[in-house]
């Protein structure tokens, strides 16, 4: 069974609209990482969350980790074409093992 | 940007041939990883290294071997490539497991 589920699998939004991507774990997280991948390129680190209830922001992107440390959301405000790409969450389950990644959410932003 | 280079970036090969992908870093990071990315499966760990000559298996290690004889280089070898190993391969580095990963640009391998 998949330990880490991302939803939705894909998303098409109109430029200027807000959107949310979710990442749900079947086990308690030690830490949660968000990455963005532009089509045909490598992954770029966005944010890391470790504490229950933690929230971090970078430009128009906000990521939150719930109190139980099993779910994280990534929220984009006033989306732009530059936000298009694949967003992946990576789970750290122990602080001592490699990240396990979700399958990704493909975001398209249309004018 | 973290100094990671993967080579080759693109390769087409035939079933049964050996293939080696190279990951080179200039950051002196201790940890190096090989992931593969496939539609419907996301990013899956093949092997990783936590130091020179120290490696361990990941989720999808069958059919792959790795070597790390120097801090800066991590090699992924497919001894006898199969069509199921057609994929995009990403190398990543980090200072530790609890620090963010920095990814290379990927190597697209097609096995005919």
pLDDT digits (tens, 9 = 90+) for A3-55: 899 999 999 999 999 999 999 999 999 999 999 999 888 899 999 999 999 99
Residue B97 has pLDDT above 80, yes or no: no
Confidence label for B85 from pLDDT (cuts 50, 70 and 90): very high
Interface test with B, best of A4, A31, A47, A98 (most B CBs within 10 A): A98
Q: What average pLDDT does the segment A84-107 reach? A: 93
Confidence label for B58 from pLDDT (cuts 50, 70 and 90): very high
Q: A71 near A52, Cβ under 8 Å?
A: no
Residues on chain B touching A99 (C-beta within 8 angstroms): 45, 101
Confidence label for B96 from pLDDT (cuts 50, 70 and 90): confident
- Residue B94 CB-density burial (10 A; 0-12 exposed, 13-18 middle, 19+ buried): buried
Residues on chain A touching B98 (C-beta within 8 angstroms): 30-31, 92, 95
Range in A59-63, A69-73, B60-64, B97-101 with the lowest mean pLDDT: B97-101
Confidence label for B1 from pLDDT (cuts 50, 70 and 90): low
Chain centroid to Cα B31, Å, comes to 12
Q: What average pLDDT does the segment A89-93 reach? A: 94
Structure tokens at B65: 């071997």
pLDDT digits over B66-77, tens only? 999 999 999 999
Q: What are the residues whose beta carbons fall under 8 Å from the beta carbon of A59, sequence distance 6 or more?
A: none
Query: Quick one: what percent of chain B has pLDDT higher than 90?
Result: 89
Q: State chain A's mean pLDDT as an integer.
A: 93
Q: What average pLDDT does the segment B29-40 reach? A: 95
> What is the predicted pLDDT for the residue at B2?
65
B97, B91, B89: which is closest to B31 by C-alpha? B97
Residue A1 has pLDDT above 70, yes or no: no
Q: What average pLDDT does the segment A78-98 reach? A: 93
SS3 content of chain B, % helix, strand, coil (to 5): 5, 60, 40
> What is the predicted pLDDT for the residue at B59?
93
SS3 content of chain A, % helix, strand, coil (to 5): 5, 55, 40
> What is the predicted pLDDT for the residue at A2?
60
Q: State chain B's mean pLDDT as an integer.
A: 94
B69, B26, B19, B28: which is closest to B46 by C-alpha? B19
- Interfacial residues of A (vs B; Cβ cutoff 8 Å): 30-31, 33, 35, 40-45, 48, 88, 90, 92, 95-104
């Amino acid at each position: 069974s998949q330990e880490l589920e991302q939803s939705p699998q894909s998303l098409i939004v109109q430029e200027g609209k807000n959107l949310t991507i979710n990442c749900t774990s079947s086990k308690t997280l030690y830490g949660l990482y968000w990455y963005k991948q532009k089509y045909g390129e490598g992954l770029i680190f966005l944010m890391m969350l470790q504490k229950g209830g933690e929230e971090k922001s970078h430009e128009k992107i906000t990521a939150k980790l719930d109190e139980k440390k099993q779910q994280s959301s990534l929220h984009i405000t006033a989306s732009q074409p530059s936000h298009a790409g694949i967003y992946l969450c990576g789970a750290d389950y122990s602080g001592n093992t490699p990240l396990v990644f979700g399958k990704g959410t493909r975001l398209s932003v249309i004018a | 940007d973290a100094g990671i280079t993967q080579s080759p970036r693109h390769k087409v090969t035939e079933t049964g041939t050996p293939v080696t992908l190279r990951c080179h870093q200039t950051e002196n990071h201790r940890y190096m990883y090989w992931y593969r990315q496939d539609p419907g499966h996301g990013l899956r760990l093949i092997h990783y290294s936590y130091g020179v000559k120290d490696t361990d298996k990941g989720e999808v290690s069958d059919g792959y071997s790795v070597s790390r004889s120097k801090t800066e280089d991590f090699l992924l070898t497919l001894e006898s490539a199969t069509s199921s190993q057609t994929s995009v391969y990403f190398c990543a580095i980090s200072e530790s497991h609890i620090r963010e990963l920095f990814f290379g640009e990927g190597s697209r391998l097609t096995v005919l």
